[in-house]
Amino acid sequence: MDSCDPVDTPIVDRLKLNEDPLGIPVDQTHFRSMVNALMYLTASRPDLVFAVCMCARYHASPTKNLLEALKRVFWYLRGTINWGLWYLKNTTMALTAYTDADHAGCQDTQRSTSGSARFLGEKLVSWSSKKQKSTAISTTEAEYIAMSGCCHSLSKHIDIRHHFIHEQVKKCVVELYFVTTDYQLADIFTKALPRELFKFLLTRLGMKSVTPKTLKRLQEGEKE
């Protein structure tokens, strides 16, 4: 990978992976080791989460096409090796969560993908991208499942999810707001996005280039 050309997104725009039953098989151990290395990085690189989780779904029977998709994540890392999250000391304690779902995004099971991003003040502290455990029959149901997973990961049925959310709103524990597609920060965890939108959401998530020069500038700005 040292000589690879960098790319500006970890996954091709609108790409939907599948089991690729007619594809050329590749070494399973090698594929899994690559996935595991990237999984470790997702703890501090939210921009990798969707692409890595998509590839990880097929670790049991990887093919050449799936390996190429996985390699692209490394090509992306090649050009963004200095990127990371920046946390200021004066972060407020208000908790805000964004959640979204890509209805029937999985080509093999027709299950949806839930994505969520949780902020403490303006700083991202938690994120996830998960294939839903049941098949949602509509976008609305998929989003209910995603929203419930963001608030209560142990809910199992759509009616329970609905009443749980309704109860929390009624008790004023949470407040719900509609977010337009262009500003839905959880969208980056549910599907492969165009380059411009991907980069825009990255800045909204708080990711920055943290080269020594940039770190010095950010630290000086924090002191002002």
Q: Radius of gyration (Cα) for the chain, nearest Å?
A: 19
Partnered with residue 207 across adjacent β-strands are 85
pLDDT lower than 50: segments of the chain: 153-155
At 3, the amino acid letter reads: S
Q: Please state, in angstroms and rounded to a whole number, the distance separating the CA atoms of residues 213 and 143.
A: 41
**What's the confidence (pLDDT) of residue 155?**
45
Domain residue extents for the chain: 1-81, 95-223
What pTM was estimated for this model as a whole? 0.82
Alpha helices in the chain (DSSP H): 28-41, 49-56, 64-79, 139-151, 158-170, 195-205, 212-223
Report the sign of the C-alpha dihedral through residues 221, 88, 8, 77, in that order: positive
**What's the confidence (pLDDT) of residue 154?**
44
CA distances from 30 to 54, 67, 94, 190 (A): 17, 10, 43, 26
